[in-house]
Structure 1
């Protein structure tokens, strides 16, 4: 078997749009979160690998799955995550859901409408939030708000990278019906600059995505773990700020990302706001499961 580690892109948790295992998270959770991240990042890099054909990608993803399920010990990332799950008594369901999304990335290059895109996010993004909530022992009642935030994060990423995804992988996450409504073809993504029609399409999707962020707005109030709530507040703040950038910048001709300096400022503001909101809101908090 080819070591999956050899197919990594070099991207790490520090390159993401959101904090993966930051100092905000209690240190007892960080090893498990990083094991999960490294497994998922490896699978994602396989699905996006420019030099592998589809059958090889699917075979490698299958190897990661069977390794995670304990059928062999050939893939380091699978071994590490399997051991981390066993130590915490957790099932691998969320990691398996993500593998489903990466298989979709290999085999599905277009999305007919918004509902199809959200279905993809139910495997590609929502399991990440659910995993984090489970790690922290949060109630399942928090899942719907988390699902909305995670889908919004994923779609922000699709909008930021829409040209790169098309040029490098012939993969288009912009719903086809919304593109048609604005008179846009996928070939518009290969231009050096967005047409007015494409910009209108992208901003239509930004507005839909902001509605998802609003759906998740109550999450930080209803969580039991204050540190994790602050972490989520930071992620939400980053998502909103990226959305603001997407409203005024062209992702085909401009880099639509937050600077490291601005992220630090946004993080501090988000944590302060989260603590104030939790202190002044009477909404009942969920309670973590025993032993978490």
Structure 2
């Protein structure tokens, strides 16, 4: 689902209420899906924003700027120390107060599973290590394990907020979140490859005869095009597998998820249309795409 959410008591009257009211940082990054939009029930917007700010900040630590890998890993360790501190009701360090003070309030109010938040940090650290070592993923099983920690926790957090916890719903949520993560990988090939990020599994590359040298040079060969097409089909199949979850969530929540699902599918449409060209061109959603997404959401 996407960076995602949970439930509970009335707003706190403690000093944490003020930072929480600041929305735990504005949503300013481009996304393929709505984040705490008007479709989201008002009572859930603060925890969703707090979770998003946590995940977005940690991802930026791992991804943005010119810091060396050792510094990124050190910062992620410090970020996790703050997570564990607020999970125990303690104050975070001053460095990320705007993230952790609202998050602490939401952990207290909604009993957020802290292990899911920690899983995200584990995935971000793995990204840093694999980029440092110029190491990709051997096969789809290894990539799915990464998605289990980098994407699926967001959906499970959302379901927690919505009070949904049965096994089928969790499996469908995982399918949607993994599909969104994969769609983002295939959307971002032109950005990730120059950064040393390699998400196309080596086993898949070998199966299609895609050469690493040509992929790294972002050449649109027939082999690379078929590889990317199959990768997009894999993500689409997972999204379709998880899509029935939209009917489990009532009212605004269900409509929010419908747009999340359709956002992922629309990006995959654009990846398909480029016929391997996402190696050098990053597809994006524009205003007309949101009209298509809304129409498809209504038809779900």
- Please tell me whether residue 164 in structure 1 is matched to residue 191 in structure 2: yes
Quote how far apart the aligned CAs of 1:100 are. 0.9
Aligned to 1:28: 43
2:92 corresponds to 1:73: yes
Provide the aligned length of Structure 1 versus Structure 2. 262
- For 2:227 and 2:113, how far apart are their aligned partners in 1? 40
Partner deviation per Cα, 1:40-89 (whole Å, 9 max, x = no partner): 11100111134112221111111111111226521221232122211223
1:24 aligns to what SS in structure 2?
coil
- Confirm or deny that 1:99 pairs with 2:99: no
Q: How big is the shift at 1:271?
A: 4.4
Give the C-alpha shift of residue 11 in structure 1.
9.6
Q: Distance in 1 between matches of 2:67 and 2:282?
A: 27
Contact 2:262 2:296 in 1 (8 A): yes
Structure 2 CA distance, aligned partners of 1:185 and 1:266?
36
Candidates 120, 131, 135, aligned match of 2:146: 120
Of 48, 69, 83, the match for 2:63: 48
How far the C-alpha of 1:160 sits from its partner, in A, is 0.9
Cα distance between partner residues in 2 of 1:200 and 1:238: 23
Once the two structures are superposed, the pairs formed by residues 1-292 of structure 1 within 5 Å of their partners are 12-13=27-28, 15-70=30-85, 73-74=92-93, 75-76=96-97, 77-108=99-130, 109-141=135-167, 142-168=169-195, 170-191=196-217, 193-223=219-249, 225-249=250-274, 250-263=277-290, 265-274=291-300
Distance in 1, matches of 2:293 and 2:37, equals 11
For the 8 Å contact 2:137–2:143, the answer to whether it is kept is yes
Q: Which has the higher contact order (CA 8 A, sep 6+)?
A: 2
CA shift in 2, pair 1:268/1:185, >3 Å? same
**Cα pair 2:190 2:218 within 8 Å, conserved:** no
Instruction: Give the deviation of 1:161 after TM superposition.
Output: 0.9
**Maintained 8 Å contact 1:231/1:271:** no
Question: Residues of 2 paired with 1:26 and 1:211: CA distance?
Answer: 29
Give the gaps of 5 or more residues in structure 1.
1-9, 275-292
**What TM-score do you get using the length of structure 2 for normalisation?**
0.82
Tell me how far apart the structure 2 counterparts of residues 11 and 95 of structure 1 sit (CA, whole Å). Answer: 19
In 1, the alpha carbon distance for the partners of 2:216 and 2:296 equals 36
C-alpha distance in 1 between matches for 2:198 and 2:205: 11
Q: Is the Cα–Cα contact under 8 Å of residues 13 and 37 in structure 1 kept in the other structure? A: no
Decide whether aligned partners of structure 1 residues 210 and 192 sit closer, same or farther in structure 2, where only a CA change above 3 A counts: closer
Q: Structure 2 CA distance, aligned partners of 1:11 and 1:80?
A: 12
The offset of 1:267, in angstroms, is: 4.3
